Amino acid sequence: MAGTQFTGPEICAKPAHEVVAMLTAGEVSPGELIDAAMTRIAEVEPAVNAVVTTCEARARAAVPDPAQADHAGWLAGLPIGIKDLTPVEGVRTTWGTLGYADHVPAASHPLVQRLEARGGVVLGKTNTPEMGAGANTFNAVFGATRNPWDTSRNAGGSSGGAAVSLATGELWLSHGSDLAGSLRTPAAFCGVVGFRPSPGLVSPGPSGNRFHPEAVQGPMARSVRDCALFLDAMAGFNPDWAISFPPPEEPFQQAVLRADEKVRIAFSPTLGGFAPCSAEVEALLRRALAQVARAGGVVEEDCPDLPGLDRAYRTLRGLLWISGTGREPEHIQRHYKPTLAQNIQQGRELTVDDVTHAHMVKSDLFDRMAAFLKQFDVLACSVVGLMPGPVEEEFPREMDGQPLTDYIDWLKFSFLSPTVGLPAVSVPVGLSETGLPVGIQLIGRPRGEARLLQVARAVEVACGGPLGPIDPMRSHG
């Protein structure tokens, strides 16, 4: 039994690893944490709309028995959030689309089963754009999720609800997924950490497409250390998934504890001219990396050539949409928003030459990145090239006066990692002059999660992080 009673704000603001230690020591109970989280959710949800479905009774009934638990990545009864693209047994799961608005799955996704076996207690589902498509979290089922740093702004996507649930202290850890920055963009916009692992470390992938490596699931947290804790809980070999592989023997948390300031970072604010970056974001990233250099790191401006990346990524993305979301029955697809329907149609129009080209480019880009990263720990670049826009705007149409072509053109910084299968993380590096957080993207070596987390921790320390949690704030304008 817990020996101390904690109020909601006090315990909700604590780091996840400290709360897990308190749970393990019996200083707080899972029931007290559920009480605190539900109180905090009730306080902030009217302003942000992040945790769209709660399952308090299920959570209380699912508190783990330590004697029967898998203690690898042990969460000890910590309440967590699951993105509303991932089924949880007996809990409404909508994929953000009207066709599934009342869907209640009979079984949990294998990742949810693993997290529960390792002591995670699912307390709620977090908001996502329809079918996870797009980097502004809104849908016709639940509406829009708002950025807590400025509730007139969007929270990014597609793991926008997850990011906001962390930034506001509703949850200590929250699960997400990533195809075009869906773990990284909302993390950058909301001042938290979003980690995209190598394909195969966190399993399984999309149902019915076990060999697909571009879409992955991963952890979000308020700090790098907490993100490593959640990754330890998620990671593990799954023989039912074709490309699964086991994590290293040393837990990621232990690797983070050995982090120091001696890091070697290559930096390119535009990925060698591949993606546009606003002057404001570039200045903030340069300021952050100057702090890393002053702390003892090495930062050099460099980037490999990335020929064919845009076309290859869009082809691989189109293949995913037509093999999954595009195969839903007509009574589901008729609700899809125009941008999602357009993406599926683009996938259907691909030729065998398009697919061949994408796989050849993918192989070439992997070789280029693997060789480049022998000289550096990470390649650093923007997460997105601009600050969060109005919540009502589905996607930006221009950046610093230059037009953007479509609803993923502004997400081009996210294309490299999924195309070549490298791990990547978004780390908060401070606030803009208007008080909005900005994140930097770090792309690591093949299956180099441990070193990537160490560099992320070095950046976090040099930049004075972590941030939050915060109370939702109205527009700064």
Question: Which residues carry out catalysis?
Answer: 83, 158, 182
Question: Left if phi > 0, otherwise alpha if psi is -120 to 50, otherwise beta: which for 126?
Answer: beta
Longest dimension (CA), the chain: 65
Q: From CA 17, how far away is CA 477, in angstroms rounded?
A: 36
Nearest to 159 by CA among 135, 193, 123: 135
- 120, two tokens: 């995670």
How far apart CA 349 and CA 444 sit, in angstroms, is 33
Closest C-alpha to 236, from 114, 116, 81:
114
| Structural contact between residues 38 and 56, judged by C-beta atoms closer than 8 angstroms | yes
DSSP 3-state assignment of 431? strand
**With 0-12 CB in 10 A as exposed, 13-18 as middle and 19+ as buried, what is 385?**
buried
What single DSSP character describes residue 198? P
Nearest residue to 420 via CA among 252, 306, 264: 306
Strands 398-399 and 378-382: unpaired
Instruction: Report CA 427 to chain centroid distance, whole Å.
Output: 11
* Closest C-alpha to 55, from 110, 126, 159: 126
Burial class (CB in 10 A: 0-12, 13-18, 19+), 210: middle
Distance CA 134, CA 12 (A): 30
**Tokens encoding 42:** 């009730």
